[in-house]
Chain A
Amino acid sequence: MVKRILAIVFILIIGLWMAKGLDQVPFGEDRMLVGKYYLEHVTEETGAINAVTAVVVNYRGFDTLGEVTVLFIASTGVAALLWRKKRKRTAKKEGSVVLTTGAKLLLPFVMLFGAYIFIHGHLTPGGGFPGGATIATAFLLLYVAFTVYEIDHKIFEPLEGLAGVGYVTVGLIGLAVGGYFLFDWIWQSWGLGKENIGRLFSAGFIPIIYILIGLKVGTELTGIIDNMVKEPEEGGQ
């Protein structure tokens, strides 16, 4: 009880301090010059009409590479923490008829929607990360509905590695063509899709990188799900 009261007092002090600090922050005004610069130059510099995508992939491409690496390390860490010699799925019951039928019916559409999200990342809200998460949801649906389903590790793990290597390769080609890592060689050097802004085939290497990120995020999150649903076998610790 004392602990609870102390916690509430502590939280109230922190809350007051935060409210006081944020009191002076003006809301609903334009202040960021960098943001203004990005908005004004995004179409001519990157060819993308979605400024958020351009910031994530073009202006901060290196940051995104680090982010994908963090996700990769986390997925490897989950696999390492949950590693046992004999781990397999011990689910006892199949899903209900509604769930199994729904999973079979919806699976292709969920995957298609995920692919749509990451292919159109430079045009609509979304991109590689939400698209990959949507694809992982499709696999989660399979894992929930069926007791025996398991992903094919022989296909999944090479795909995950290839997507990561692909991102670095695109960056290295930029280094060779333009002189720095993750240089947008398709847009800046070749000028592909200049008259096509706002359509699917535009925006330089953003679609390529977002497809690779989408594949990588999808495979990694599915790997995390795969590791989490497995339990050690009886007596097989």
Chain B
Amino acid sequence: MNPYYFASIALILIGLYAILVKRNVLKMLVGLSIMETGVNLLLISVGYVSGRSAPILSEGITPDKAVDPIPQALVLTAIVIGVATTAMALSVVINLYEKYKTLNVEEIRRLRG
């Protein structure tokens, strides 16, 4: 078991806890973002090989001295998609607040209808 795995699992669980327990929509979104960070860290750490450099093949770095580029490319994609979905979710939250004047999910449930 590796410390990197522990850190990423811890981040995922902290985010999950926020999503399950918090009642403020904004805090739940923060939890979702923390979870995303955990997953990204997990993917990156699977691709990491200790003692090797980034996959930029400039002076002195031959292919067998660089780490695998695929996890890094995938995480680059995941981060961008994460930003896009977070922006969407935040604008939904802005709409919710303008309509109900509160961010508490239980109160929103009570006020609806």
List A residues at the B interface (Cβ < 8 Å).
3-4, 7-8, 10-11, 14-15, 18-19, 22-23, 25, 27-30, 32, 34-36, 38-40, 42-43, 49-52, 54-56, 60, 63-64, 67, 70-71, 73-75, 77-78, 81-82, 123-125, 127, 129, 133, 198, 217, 221, 224, 227-228, 232
Is B17 in contact with A11, judged by CB distance below 8 angstroms? yes
Given A8-B17, A34-B70, are A74 and B90 also a contact pair (CB < 8 Å)? Answer: no
Shortest CB–CB separation between residue B17 and chain A, in angstroms? 6
Is B95 in contact with A129, judged by CB distance below 8 angstroms? no
Is A125 in contact with B91, judged by CB distance below 8 angstroms? no
Is A7 in contact with B17, judged by CB distance below 8 angstroms? yes
Is B49 in contact with A30, judged by CB distance below 8 angstroms? yes
Interfacial chain B residues near A64, Cβ < 8 Å: 77
List B residues at the A interface (Cβ < 8 Å).
1-2, 4-6, 9, 12-13, 16-17, 20-21, 42, 45-50, 54-58, 63, 66, 68-70, 72-73, 76-77, 79-81, 83-85, 87-88, 90-92, 94-95, 98
Is A78 in contact with B87, judged by CB distance below 8 angstroms? yes
Most chain B beta-carbon contacts within 10 A, residue among A22, A63, A129, A221: A22
Given A3-B21, A51-B66, A74-B87, are A67 and B80 also a contact pair (CB < 8 Å)? Answer: yes
How far does the alpha carbon of A116 sit from the alpha carbon of B88 in the complex, in Å?
29
Shortest CB–CB separation between residue A70 and chain B, in angstroms? 6
How far does the alpha carbon of A51 sit from the alpha carbon of B71 in the complex, in Å?
11
Query: Would you give 23 A-B contacts (Cβ < 8 Å), ordered by A?
Result: A7-B20, A14-B16, A19-B1, A19-B6, A25-B46, A27-B45, A27-B48, A28-B49, A28-B50, A35-B70, A39-B66, A51-B66, A52-B54, A55-B70, A56-B73, A63-B77, A75-B87, A82-B94, A123-B56, A125-B54, A133-B83, A198-B58, A228-B90
How far does the alpha carbon of A217 sit from the alpha carbon of B79 in the complex, in Å?
13
Given A8-B17, A22-B9, are A29 and B49 also a contact pair (CB < 8 Å)? Answer: yes
**Which of B21, B45, B76 is in CB contact (< 8 Å) with A7?**
B21
Interfacial chain A residues near B80, Cβ < 8 Å: 67, 70-71, 129, 217
Is B13 in contact with A49, judged by CB distance below 8 angstroms? no
Shortest CB–CB separation between residue A59 and chain B, in angstroms? 8
Given A14-B16, A64-B77, are A23 and B1 also a contact pair (CB < 8 Å)? Answer: yes
Shortest CB–CB separation between residue A77 and chain B, in angstroms? 5
**Which of B5, B58, B77 is in CB contact (< 8 Å) with A19?**
B5
Is A28 in contact with B48, judged by CB distance below 8 angstroms? yes
Interfacial chain A residues near B72, Cβ < 8 Å: 52
Given contacts A67-B81, A71-B81, A124-B56, list 20 more A-B pairs with CB under 8 A.
A3-B21, A7-B17, A7-B21, A11-B16, A11-B20, A19-B6, A27-B48, A32-B70, A40-B63, A50-B55, A50-B56, A51-B57, A64-B77, A70-B80, A73-B84, A75-B84, A78-B88, A78-B91, A221-B83, A224-B87
Given A14-B16, A71-B80, are A77 and B91 also a contact pair (CB < 8 Å)? Answer: yes
Is A67 in contact with B13, judged by CB distance below 8 angstroms? no
